[in-house]
Amino acid sequence: MEFDVDRIRKDFPILATQMNGRQLVYLDSAATSQKPRQVINAVARHYRKLNANIHRGIYKLSEEATAEYVASKEAVARFIHAKSYRSIVYFRSTTEAINAVARAWGDANTGSGDRVLITEMEHHSNIVPWQMLAKRKGAHLDYVGLRDGSELDLEDYKSKLLLKPKIVAVTHVSNVLGTINDVKEITRMAHEAGASVLVDGAQSVPHMPVDVSGMDADFVAFSGHKMLGPSGIGVLYGKEDVLEGMEPFHGGGDMIRSVDFQESTWNELPWKFEAGTQNMEGAAGLAAAVRYLKRLGMESVREHEKKITLYALEALADEHVTAFGLGRDRIEERAGVISFDVKGVHAHDVAQVFDSEGIAIRSGHHCAMPLVTRVLGEPAVPRMSFYVYTKEQEIDSAIAAIRKAREVMKLSS
């Protein structure tokens, strides 16, 4: 099926919005994606027809709600090529999923003097939980450096693996640079060194084919709201044997098998990690998002984003702009994220000019302060990010906004 962006855009009601008197141009999908009517309708349908607590009632409505919830997990498992929905745990977000691993797995497997290895490319969500773990357990937190401020230094990675870390936590795609890391090879090397692996898939699972079984990572975390789904629902994939060996992160509600006055026993996978009433409407919306993306085809989604990213990089090259990350000749290793610097114009001023033109971009450190401030050497950077509904004319609008920003600052061309 042809990837028809104009047809796809008709599924997204918000794209018809006027912003500051202009047609909305949304270039902030790395922060959160927009939602198609299919997802909006799935959430509304849950409330209209299936709103009952799951796993608790023996009446028909509760049973149907439970079936919908389980079907959502099955759809997600198939989408990322997990072997079973038992490996799919729902949390609120990628952030909570990583925190759960740092607590439930990290506390049990990390002790004083042990090492945890992450990279200078990470989002705060894949830094702070490991900092907290290191402080709790007296462990050392090491970082893999970057080459040319664009890609992981694999020689540095090899040397850090010699220190025998307990776990390696790495982003699949940088939310600042757009760099796609070879997580399959990174995982292989980590396992050879005796380390477990967590992959932050927040910027990869929504945008390209991801096969968690082939990747072989022990954990992969990602969020629904970045892949056309609702906010408030995130996914932790874990190998079944690893999850079986972990203690729960939260206690209470549906995660129990039995409770006595002094102790409790836990439910089977994946329920033992899901305490309390779950985000049932979020699960319905996430399943609809997965169905939508599968219908488009993830290979086609990836090809579209490569095309848009290359178009944007080529357009930026003609302006007084520095685009961070790998160059146009390495588009296969880049995702649809471009952080950039307009010489002589502060990042926030760029974003304000964009906003005046009806264009939504993000400006700041993008929850990756060490990368932006220390590696890139910038206080803040503006960022454009793309998705299935982005079209070339929107990039043209962004380039015109960059020119306007320079005019406002009275910079010569």
**Is 367 annotated as catalytic?**
yes
Choose the catalytic residue: 30, 102, 338, 367: 367
Question: Residue 272 and residue 275: Cα distance in Å, rounded?
Answer: 7
- Measure CA of the first residue to CA of the last residue in the chain; give whole Å: 43
Question: Which tokens go with 209?
Answer: 């084919």
- Tally of CB atoms within 10 A around 285: 30
Question: Which tokens go with 139?
Answer: 């462990």
Contact present, 34 and 389 (Cβ < 8 Å): yes
Nearest 5 degrees, angle CA 311-CA 1-CA 206? 60
Contact present, 213 and 192 (Cβ < 8 Å): no
Query: Which residues are paired to 334 by β-bridges?
Result: 179
Residues identified as active-site: 367
